[in-house]
Amino acid sequence: MEEPKKGLFGKIRDRLTRSRENVAQRVDELTRSYKSIGPEFYEDLSDVLVMADAGLPASESVVKQLKERVKAERADSAERAREILKDILKAELRSPRPPLKWPMVMLVVGVNGVGKTTTIGKLAARFKAAQHSVILCAADTFRAAAADQLSIWADRAGVPIVRHSEGADPAAVVFDGIASAKSHNTDLMIVDTAGRLHNKKQLMEELSKIHRILAREYPQADLRTLLVMDATTGQNGLQQAKAFLETAKVNGIVLTKLDGTAKGGIVIAIQRELGLPVWYVGVGEALDDLEPFDADAFVEAIF
């Protein structure tokens, strides 16, 4: 059974008001100001995209594609250019998630403060609602009260949790989590990991050890590593993400707090600069405010 669909367009449109005001209104101003398309139109459009945190490389690429499409279609109105822009952004952001395979392990990584623990709770609730059995594994034994916070989310989602005392070996927690998941034929184990970056060597060693344990003890499980990023940190978040890519074999991104930023263009920058798809977006504080990312719904909501 797949995850439940919850009307992403309606929910995300309601929650992306700030990004819509920042991006769509400025693009609309351009289309009203420029009846025809010329160099100044493209320069101003590039500025709008950069200001929305799409980043310079992605903004230049999108504008270049727009120029080529406008020329090929012999389009002459700014209004038509706006529609072509939406098509380009949808194509740029489309990156479907691979099909779900069971059993599965989700290894969740990211710096402290990005909403990692909250995301794990929301993922657990989401898959449980889809009739899948879920267990949480508190392998962040470095941060004080990390396991306590995760236990609160486990209670909210109504799923079991495996935890050890603070300072325990994270790989030992994962080992016990695997044993519990296997004995109960659990579909999904979600693993919280330490979020520190000041000691990348130690973090890399931890993650490598966890990977070895999973490969040896749970080879039948489909492993996915999700990097949680805070949309409100913009380009700074990209630098943090790049540091994590050096230590973890990341498959996809979870972008949190998308409802709290006016710079929704960060989604474009992430996929362009990190080469990774955004799989989920957080659009609120409630337990069900985590949605699979849909490029078409996102672009339509922004515009």
8 A C-beta contact, residue 228 and residue 110: yes
Rounded Cα–Cα distance for residues 213 and 230 (Å):
29
| Residue with the two structure tokens 């392998």 | 139
Instruction: Spell out the per-residue pLDDT of the chain, length 303, in tens.
Output: 455 444 555 565 665 665 666 677 888 888 888 878 989 999 999 998 988 888 899 999 999 999 999 999 999 898 999 999 999 999 999 987 889 999 999 999 998 889 999 999 999 999 999 999 999 999 999 988 999 999 999 999 999 999 999 999 999 999 999 999 999 999 999 999 998 766 678 888 899 899 999 999 999 999 999 999 998 887 778 887 887 887 788 999 999 988 776 567 888 888 888 889 999 998 888 888 898 999 998 888 877
What is residue 14's predicted lDDT score, i.e. its pLDDT? 62
Q: Which of 180, 174, 172 is nearest to 192 (CA)?
A: 174
Report the alpha-carbon distance of residue 58 to residue 225 in Å, rounded: 25
Q: What is the pLDDT of residue 4?
A: 44
Please give the Cα distance from 126 to 132 (Å, whole number): 9
In this predicted structure, what is the pLDDT of residue 231? 87
Say how far apart CA 177 and CA 138 lie, in whole Å. Answer: 9
Tokens of 108: 């969740």
pLDDT, residue 260, reads: 74
β-strand partners of 223 = 105
Q: What are 206's two structure tokens?
A: 């931890």
C-alpha 254/C-alpha 249 separation (Å) is: 15
- Residue 145: per-residue pLDDT: 92
- At 193-237, the pLDDT tens digits run 998 766 678 888 899 899 999 999 999 999 999 999 998 887 778
